[in-house]
Amino acid sequence: MNVLITGVGREGQMGEALAAAFAADGARLALVDRTAAHVDARADALRAAGAEVHAYACDLTDDAAVAAVAASARSALGDVDAVVCAAGGFAMTGPVDAEDVAAWERQIAVNLTTAHVTTRAVLPMLRRTRGALVYFASASALPGAKVGGMAAYVAAKSGVLALMHAVAADERAHGVRANAVAPTAIRTATNVADMGPDAAYVEREEVARVVRWLCSEEARSVTGQVVRLGA
C-alpha cells in the first residue's frame, strides 16, 4: 500500500503517529510537511526501523509546489492508494469583531486550503487506484460544540467537512472514497504543553487506528462519513 500523509512534522504530534502506524502495516510512505528538518527526522526514524519512506518539504497552500510533490511521490512509489490530509493547526482568535484578520486567514490556510490543494493534486492517482482520502476535521465543527473564541478554526474545520462531502459525492463514480475524523483534543506534545497532562484527550494511536481502517479494504464501501473521536 502506498500512502501519502501531510502534516508529518514535529516529534510528538499526530502526523508522527500516523506515519508510524502505516509503516507498521508495511505501507510505503510519502511524508509531507512545511519544514524540511522536521519531516526528514520523522522519515529517518522510520527508515531506521526498515520502512520505505520518502520525505518532502512543501508549502501545502502552494498549488504548483504540491503538484510537484505529488508527481515526485508517484515517481518514487507509483500511484498512491491512500492520502491522509493531517496538516493543520489550532489557534484561539477571540470574538469575531475583535479577531485579527491575518489570524483568520491563517486558520483557513493551514486547515482548509492545505486540504483543498492536496486533494486537487492527488485525485488523478486515487482515481487510478480507486483509493481513499481521509481528512482531519474537529469535534468543534460538529453540532452542539462550544465554539466561542475560535470562529476561524471552526470555520476552517467546517470547510474541511464540506470539502470531504463534496469529494465523496463527486468521486463516487471514480471509485474514490472520502471520509473524515473529527477528534476532540488529541494527546500531542503541543496540547499537553498547553493544556497539561490531565486534560481529557483522545490518544494519538486511537486516531491513527481509525484512519488506517478508513484507508483499508475493509472500509471499501464507506464514504462521505465523519467519525467523531474522544469524549
Catalytic residue numbers read 153
- Kindly report the CA angle at 46 between 40 and 51, in degrees rounded to 5? 120
User: C-alpha angle with apex 88: 55 to 148, nearest 5 degrees?
Assistant: 170
The x, y and z cell numbers of residue 86, run together, are 493531517
Cα first-last separation, the chain: 32
DSSP state of 141: G
How far, in Å, CA of 103 to CA of 192, rounded? Answer: 23
Q: What is the CA radius of gyration of the chain?
A: 17
- The grid cell for 91 is 489557534
